[in-house]
């Protein structure tokens, strides 16, 4: 018995640094956020921080709305790209994956600054339009610019999980459907798309969660006029409207929203997989 206990301890020993890391940098900050959210400046218990969020419902609605639009656009673009990649040759797949991953090697802030130089009124896009005789557009500091920045930065997170799932679909399943008389559209609708639902769920989650909480993209491309939840939290901790207790309450509510969205998406994915199995 002692040998068994010692063996288990020796196997679990390498996990202790990870547990300590998680406790210090994940669990402890969550407790701090909860503590700040339910206390006032004097340290007493209060719910006023949550009542004070009522005036910011427009910010929450805007964040969810823009994040949903960016996620839908990423799905519409990312799924066909992932499907074509999965059906291409290995050489083309390697080159395409390198091109998809290449922007991610550049700093996130630098990529956003690059889009500022492209979209501003005297930027490259408007200068090109003026050069060919077309009217210029006011793109910067709009919700469209914010969505464009989200799509550009998070599109790889939609393509990669969908591609990794489609490429692993057993070819014999598709051949069986074809032998039973299914055409290409039916094979995609009845076999490929349902079997790739787990990748879609992962991609939607990986795009929606950072989109709804971003603040750099909305600050640089939105010009401060399209404030999102991330900007609102930053204002409470670092801005002129310093109120860390309200900022903690907003952060806690955002975590709840993210957890609910992830739970719904995971349940949706499980339901689709069970339907395919049946």
The yes-or-no verdict on residue 139 having pLDDT over 60 is yes
Reading the block at residue 181, the tokens are 């008389």
Q: How far apart are CA 262 and CA 78, in angstroms?
A: 20
| pLDDT at 268 > cutoff 70 | no
Taken in order of first residue, the domains within the chain and their CATH numbers are 56-277 (1.10.3720.10)
Q: Average pLDDT of the chain?
A: 87
Res. 241: pLDDT tops 80: no
pLDDT in tens, 41-67: 888 999 999 988 888 999 999 999 999
In the prediction, which pLDDT does 158 show?
Answer: 96
Task: Name the percent of the chain lying above pLDDT 70.
Answer: 92
CA distance 3 to 147: 59
pTM equals 0.86
The model's pLDDT over 1-53, given as tens digits with 9 standing for 90+, comes to: 445 445 555 557 777 888 888 888 888 989 999 999 999 988 899 999 998 88
Q: When comparing pLDDT for 180 and 252, which is higher?
A: 252
Q: Rounded to whole angstroms, how far apart are CA atoms 54 and 71? A: 26
- Which has the minimum average pLDDT: 39-43, 139-143, 184-188, 222-226? 222-226
Mean pLDDT throughout 102-130? 89
Task: Give the separation between CA 94 and CA 226, rounded to whole angstroms.
Answer: 38
């Amino acid at each position: 018995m002692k040998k068994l206990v010692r063996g288990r301890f020796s196997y679990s020993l390498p996990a202790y640094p990870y547990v300590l890391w998680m406790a210090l940098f994940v669990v402890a900050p969550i407790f701090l956020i909860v503590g700040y959210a339910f206390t006032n400046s004097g340290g007493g218990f209060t719910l006023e921080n949550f009542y004070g969020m009522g005036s910011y419902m427009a910010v929450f609605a805007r964040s969810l709305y823009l994040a949903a639009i960016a996620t839908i656009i990423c799905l519409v673009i990312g799924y066909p790209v992932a499907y074509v990649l999965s059906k291409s040759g290995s050489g083309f797949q390697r080159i395409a994956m390198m091109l998809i991953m290449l922007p991610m090697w550049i700093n996130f802030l630098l990529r956003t600054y690059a889009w500022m130089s492209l979209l501003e009124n005297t930027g490259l896009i408007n200068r090109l339009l003026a050069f060919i005789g077309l009217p210029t557009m006011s793109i910067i500091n709009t919700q469209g610019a914010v969505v464009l920045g989200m799509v550009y930065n998070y599109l790889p997170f939609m393509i990669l999980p969908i591609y990794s799932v489609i490429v692993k679909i057993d070819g014999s399943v598709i051949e069986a459907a074809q032998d039973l008389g299914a055409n290409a559209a039916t094979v995609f609708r009845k076999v490929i798309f349902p079997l790739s639902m787990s990748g879609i769920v992962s991609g939607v989650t990986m795009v929606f969660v950072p989109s709804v909480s971003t603040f750099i993209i909305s600050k640089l491309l939105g010009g401060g006029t399209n404030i999102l939840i991330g900007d609102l939290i930053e204002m409470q901790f670092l801005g002129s409207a310093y109120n860390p207790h309200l900022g903690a309450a907003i952060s806690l509510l955002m975590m709840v929203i993210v957890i609910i969205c992830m739970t719904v998406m995971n349940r949706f994915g499980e339901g689709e997989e069970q339907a395919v199995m049946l």
